[in-house]
Amino acid sequence: MPRRRIVVLLVLALVVAGFMLFPLLSRFLTEWWWFKEVGYQVVFTRQLVSRTLLFLGGGTLTFLVLYLNLRLAQRGVVPNPILLQVGESVPAVNVPAVLRKLALPVALGFGLLGALAASSAWDTVLQAANATPFGINDPVFGRDIGWYVFTLPAISTALGVLSGLATLSLLILVPLYFLRGDIISKPPTIRFERSAGLHLAAIVAVMLVLTALRLWMVDTPGLLYSSTGPLVGASYTDIHARLPAIRVTAVLAVLAAGMVVFAGLRGRLVPHGIWAVAGYIVAALLGRVLFPAAIQKFVVAPTELTRETPYLTNHIAATRQAWGLDSVDTRELDGEANLTLADIRANAPTIENVRLWDREPLLQTFGQLQEIRTYYDFVSVDDDRYMIDGKYRQVLLSPRELNVASLPTRTFINEHLTFTHGMGLTLSPVNQVTIEGLPVLFVRDLPPASEVSLKVTRPQIYFGELANEFVFVGTKQREFDHPAGEANVYAPYEGTGGVPVGNLLRRLVLATSFRSTKILLSGDITSGSRVLYYRNITARAAKALPFLTFDRDPYMVVADDGALQWILDAYTTTSRYPYSSRLADGTSYMRNSVKVVLDAYNGKMRAFVSEPNDPLVRTWEKIFPGVFQPITAMPADLRLHIRYPDDLYRTQATLYTTYHMEAPEDFYHREDQWQIPAMAKTDGSVPFMRHIVMRLPDEPKAEFIYMVPFTPRGKDNLAAWMVARNDGEAYGSLRVYRLSRQSLVFGPQQITNRINQDTEVSRQVSLWDQAGSRVIRGDLLVIPIEQSLLYVQPLYLQAEGGRIPELKRVVVAFQNQVVMRETLDAALAQLFGGSSGGPSAQGRGDSLSLRARGAGEATSGVSAELRALLTEARQRYQAALEAQRAGEWARYGEEIKRLGELLERLARQQ
């Protein structure tokens, strides 16, 4: 009977363990299947092996150290054990005997914790083992920067682990010896049994030696991360006070360790050993705290600039190197040169690509006009450039993704088998508008229809910014593809993505991992079905490449074959670059070293190295061979669409406002510090940073650039502007155009104020507000033209209760002049006169280029201004008819009034 009972208990234990472990095993298997599907097995296996080895090593070390110390402390017989009486009828408990039995489980428990902690350091260990030198030495100790980035963290971790084990051992041994009676407290003295005293002395000595090693090997080079004084990095006080103090106290720690051991051997741990430790603590306090504070206050502070100049030089140079600011190309501009019609004509590609549609209003408009069904969403709008019908055009595009939260009926079949993907995108030129004030759509509707040379042949989006639910393809349920009028179109998945469902056991694993019994019980899922998971593109890429940091703004590209591809910018970062300025999260070095291309249909990922000279990415290439490909292997049509990453550019621009000052004196006084002007929005202020197509001064042709203006700190006039170049061989280069400090060039805020104070603008805005409509001021665009600047701001009108913003006016400002017209064409014509000779825009709707259509073509013999007025009159007439048909009489009256004003102006032109 007892044997049968034991067998039953063992079986029950195994069943319980199986129930507890099977979910973990299921998760492990689904992870492995996913890595195998995407082709990144080496990332999974290398992490697994390194984590396992560290787990075993860290756990074994922790267990051995604690267990051996506990066994050593509990050797021999306790002559007068402490007896604990828990009840009159229960025998007294021998406390030392109980503690002896607890030695093994306590050591095992802490060993498990140590194993978990050690396994988390896998990346630190692998980087140290595969370190790549930077080729740059620090200015104080002469070590390669790679030593600080790769080796120093590993040394710090190892010493931290050993110090932690020694401290933990001491904290356990002291109460243990006390309970055994080996520590006897008889105030005012404390007496240690000889073997116990020697054991504790050895532990304290080890702690002191480890402290000395940490001071010498970690804290000394760690001075290069100090924040003492007006910089990040070793300052005058750090080098002349704190560094000598660290070295002296390291030697004192070793001497104190020797004295503690000697006191233990002599049986005089108290008081000699205590005095040795106390003496070290006092010396450390005086040398590493009070002495540097005195030097800082009485020596450095009175002549701080003089003392800190060489260290400021180190800090500035390191920050510029770490953040890629040392390669910024700086050029000078006058900024006050007059623009002429010839300048406008010479920069026709810039004018033709002036971005009149902002992302926020356009996103609202796309949502109202092109979502088609409630379960489709446009998440974001991205800037890009394409060759469309032979012309270089800047466009705004937004993928149409499926939002399962908006499905009319949320069931397992709907969410995971039927509605599996988004559909196509909407693409609009940045500078064209219909008569109704809506954007011209080059690609629109379902399935996506294109009116230009750009075609979409594979519009299904299984992997996107919204996709986060697992879906099954190849099931017995039909997959919804897109709506077609009153009917729906269904189409099966024909891609290669997904993990095969396979046999019943695999289904059980998937059901357990995804916590859904329907996966196991559904008759629609077959062995030939496949499951797609990790479908959110950022989460998918981060899962495959966990050692990289990803940009906030992935963007979609239409490839030459019509397929939809996502491009994600990935960064290699570290917080260990000495002397470099740090972000709020501690990052002191960043490179956009990797471009990840992810197929929206198949989910296939490819990682291309865009910064082959970055030591961090070269280290990761060694750790995970075969994961990365050179950027030259990226398809040529996709390389045409890579762009400078947003997060990196914002950080570099922010740092450059201060670190363009290379002279220590200027940096210290902040005499020429800049700031990035901000635009006021309903949800807060955002910086003036925009993608535009323009021809840079001294460059032969227009290109796609990312631009940010700078103003002096506390002032509104323009000081400089920076561009990140995106096209061809110039990709990745930064250029700054500095304006003369002896002349005043209006900045964005000053131009905004002038626009607000303009009589015509304020009158029109007030009129719209009185009619109950909402005026949305678009982004103020800073458009460099030759040596001068042109400002353009679109104005949108949103009807009361409406959700579709319409572009109604374009404001153009140049120097002291502010002009508001219905088109950019008309505003530029009034400012500069004549025609730029720019070609007419392609596609539907009214062109906002400099050459008017319709009425202008019929009156080619008259002036450009007259042609612009005729175009506006025709637009007002058409808009009035539209308002009449819609029964919007307030709008009809407004349009008729505007038409009358235009006719009066036309009469004056006769």
Convert the pLDDT of each residue in 487-530 to its tens digit.
Answer: 899 999 999 999 999 999 999 999 999 999 999 999 999 999 99
Average pLDDT in the chain: 88
First to last CA, the chain: 118
Residue 839 binned pLDDT confidence (cut-offs 50, 70, 90): very low
Distance CA 710, CA 822 (A): 30
897/865: higher pLDDT: 897
Distance CA 539, CA 99 (A): 48
Q: Is the pLDDT of residue 866 over 80?
A: no
The identity of residue 425, as a single letter, is L
Q: What is the mean pLDDT of residues 86-102?
A: 72
Q: Is the pLDDT of residue 811 over 90?
A: yes
CB 703, CB 730: distance < 8 Å: yes
Q: Is the pLDDT of residue 94 over 80?
A: no
The identity of residue 464, as a single letter, is G
The percent of residues above 90 in pLDDT, for the chain, comes to 63
Q: Is the pLDDT of residue 865 over 80?
A: no
Q: Which two tokens stand for residue 756?
A: 């607000």
Peptide bond preceding 805 in cis form (omega within 30 of 0): no
Q: Is the pLDDT of residue 428 over 70?
A: yes
Q: Angle at Cα 840 formed by Cα 839 and Cα 845, nearest 5°?
A: 160
Distance CA 400, CA 409 (A): 20
Candidates 832, 739, 752, 736; CA nearest to 336 is 739
Q: Which residues, 6 or more positions from 297, have their beta carbon under 8 angstroms from its beta carbon?
A: none
How far out from the chain centre does Cα 78 lie?
Answer: 61
Q: Is the pLDDT of residue 844 over 50?
A: no
Give strand ranges (E) for 730-883.
Answer: 734-739, 774-777, 781-785, 788-798, 806-814, 817-821, 846-847
Distance CA 237, CA 491 (A): 71
CB 790, CB 351: distance < 8 Å: no
SS (H, E, C) 281-295: HHHHHHHHHHHHHHH
Distance CA 263, CA 201 (A): 8
What does the pLDDT read at residue 88? Answer: 63
Lowest mean pLDDT among 47-51, 242-246, 849-853: 849-853
Q: Which two tokens stand for residue 298?
A: 């009485």
Distance CA 623, CA 317 (A): 30
The identity of residue 22, as a single letter, is F
Task: Describe the strand order of the beta sheet including 530-532 as a list of residue ranges.
Answer: 471-473, 530-532, 499-500
Distance CA 903, CA 873 (A): 7
The owner of tokens 């025609």 is 835
Q: What is the mean pLDDT of residues 543-555?
A: 96
Q: Is the dihedral of CA 260, 264, 268, 274 positive or negative?
A: positive
What does the pLDDT read at residue 886? Answer: 63
Distance CA 646, CA 727 (A): 16
Candidates 543, 545, 542; CA nearest to 616 is 545
Q: What is the mean pLDDT of residues 51-69?
A: 96
What does the pLDDT read at residue 720? Answer: 93
Q: What is the mean pLDDT of residues 83-99?
A: 68
Distance CA 841, CA 392 (A): 12
Q: Is the pLDDT of residue 172 over 90?
A: yes
Q: Sort residue 490 into left (φ over 0), alpha (ψ -120 to 50) or beta.
A: beta
How far out from the chain centre does Cα 396 lie?
Answer: 22
CB 476, CB 482: distance < 8 Å: no
Q: Which residues of 804-821 are buried (b: 16+ CB within 10 A; e: fewer)?
A: bbbbbbbbbbbbeebbbb
Q: Is the pLDDT of residue 874 over 80?
A: no
What does the pLDDT read at residue 858? Answer: 32
Lowest mean pLDDT among 6-15, 330-339, 353-362: 6-15
- Helix residue spans in 417-535 (DSSP H): 504-514, 517-521
Q: Angle at Cα 780 formed by Cα 670 and Cα 826, nearest 5°?
A: 140
Give strand ranges (E) for 305-390.
Answer: 329-333, 376-378, 382-388
What does the pLDDT read at residue 119? Answer: 95
What number of residues does the chain have?
910
Q: Which residues, 6 or more positions from 537, have their beta carbon under 8 angstroms from its beta carbon?
A: 463, 464, 465, 467, 554, 566, 568, 598
What does the pLDDT read at residue 139? Answer: 96
Distance CA 501, CA 383 (A): 39
CB 689, CB 706: distance < 8 Å: yes
